[in-house]
Structure 1
Amino acid sequence: MHAMQYEITLPADYDMEIIRRRIATRGHLLDDFPGLGLKAFLIRERGETSPVDQYAPLYLWSAPEGMNAFLRCPGFQGIVDDFGRPQVQHWSGLSYLEGPSADAVPRTALRHRVRIEDSVRPAEAVEAALAEHRGTAASPGAVAAALALDPRLWELLHFTLWEHEPPGPVPGDRYEVLHLSAPERARLARTGQW
């Protein structure tokens, strides 16, 4: 499994209805994309839970060939043409788990990035993160959870899809899920394990 995300931060006066319409009319185009475990079409709007207006889709790839094919496809070129070429962040997958609400349509996503401090052994940090990840994935309302690592920055990515709002105060960036394409979601649990 590979995780990938790009963030398109928009001007404060940008009409987010444009992004909502774009996803409503084009989101289904990835519903059968080869190698795609899932793509969460995410936005956050400036206000109470976000400092910015942003379109920030997050992908979980079941195969690296799918990720590479996407980056050269007309759909991604459309993003480049309309918004400029975004910086594409990516992480190696450590674990993917389905939650108790796996059959529900996710409405909220939470992304939390954690840097592994220089004084901490990477393996110990990952083991602790995996324990936290298993607990999060088992929480009521969790649809699915992924844990991934960027060893260049020594950064852990915790990503969780929720049926509604996550329970209690939780750290990280909160997004609204406008669409979920998940053609190879079942393969994610079998790939990229630590």
Structure 2
Amino acid sequence: MYAMQYEITLPADYDMKIIRDRVAGRGRLTDAYEDLGFKAYLIRERGTEGSPVNAYAPFYLWKDTGGMNRFLWGGGGFSGIVDDFGRPDVSHWTGAAYRPGPASGAAPRAASRLVRRLPAGADPREPVTRALEEWEERATAAGVHTAVLAVDPRRWETVLLTLWERTPPTAVTDLDRYEVLHLSAPHLAEVPVGRRWP
């Protein structure tokens, strides 16, 4: 299991209808993509949900790296992003845990992302265990469609991505909030549930 995201920051006066139309026209192209657990087509709009920027920021959960490799450099779709916006940096994380939430049967309309850096030089066991406990609590919360925990061992950071049926409750303090325009989940049922180590 592998997670990745690229975030394309757009001008403050950018017409986000362009992105909405893009997703409406192209989102279905990943509805049957090989090795793709899910792709959440995420946007942020300046002034909405506290966002200071306009951004297009799709988040992917892959069953394994084969589909991701094909997408990024095997002619599987990323060239459309490069042609239209230039080549963005792609954040990627080793999948640590995945679980469908109580609202997994509904279409998600919102997402939140919490990124935390591990303390410098610290043994990763304790902070990753704490992140896993937070993930377990989040995954069972009302309104949660999906919860994913992943780790970047190069930058030593964890990311908790949550898809929500509606806007997250005010008690959720994740700074990065998104609108979900479309969810492609062709192989999500094949992604192992739970944490990915014994």
Match of 1:187 among 174, 186, 190: 190
Corresponding residue SS for 2:70: helix
Residues 23-55 of structure 1 show CA distances to partners (whole Å, capped at 9, x for unaligned) of: 000000000000000000000000142010000
Match in the other structure for 2:6? 6
Say whether 1:173 aligns with 2:176.
Answer: yes
Measured in 2, the distance between the counterparts of 1:173 and 1:11 equals 18
Structure 2 portions without partners, runs of 5+: none
What secondary structure, in the 3-state scheme, does the structure 2 residue paired with 1:136 have?
helix
Secondary structure at the counterpart of residue 77 of structure 2: helix
Amino acid at match of 2:120: D
User: Structure 2-normalised TM-score?
Assistant: 0.94
8 Å CA contact retained: 1:36, 1:182: yes
Aligned 8 A contact 1:2 1:192 in 2: no
Secondary structure of 2:166's counterpart equals coil
Greater mean alpha carbon deviation, residues 73-82 or residues 2-11: 73-82
Q: In the alignment, which residue of structure 1 is the partner of 2:28?
A: 28
Q: Which amino acid aligns with 1:78?
A: G
Aligned length: 194
Q: Does 2:97 correspond to 1:95?
A: yes
In structure 2, give the amino acid aligned to 1:176: E
Task: Give distance in 1, aligned partners of 2:170 and 2:105.
Answer: 22
Aligned CA-pair RMSD: 1.3
Question: What is the correspondence of 1:84-123 to structure 2 with a 5 Å cutoff?
Answer: 84-118=86-120, 120-123=122-125
- How far apart, in 1, do the equivalents of 2:61 and 2:78 lie? 16
In 2, the alpha carbon distance for the partners of 1:192 and 1:82 equals 37
What whole-Å deviation, never above 9, does each CA across 1:77-119 have from its counterpart, x for those lacking one?
Answer: 0110000001011000000001000101000000110000125
Cα distance in 1, alignment partners of residues 140 and 127 from structure 2: 20
Query: How far did 1:172 drift?
Result: 2.5
Residue equivalent to 1:37: 37
Alignment match, 1:145: 147
Measured after TM superposition, the shift of residue 190 of structure 1 is 4.8
Select 1:159's aligned residue among 158, 161, 165.
161
- The range that moved more, 157-166 or 184-193, is 184-193
Greater Cα offset, 114-123 or 136-145: 114-123
Using the aligned pairs only, state the percent identity. Answer: 55
| Contact 1:16–1:53 (CA under 8 A) maintained in structure 2 | yes
Q: Contact 1:107 / 1:164 at 8 angstroms: preserved in 2?
A: yes
CA distance in structure 1 between the aligned counterparts of 2:160 and 2:9, rounded to whole angstroms: 21
What stretches of structure 1 of length at least 5 have no aligned partner?
Answer: none
1:126-145, Cα deviation, whole Å (9 max, x unpaired) = 11111110000000000010
TM-score by length of 1: 0.96
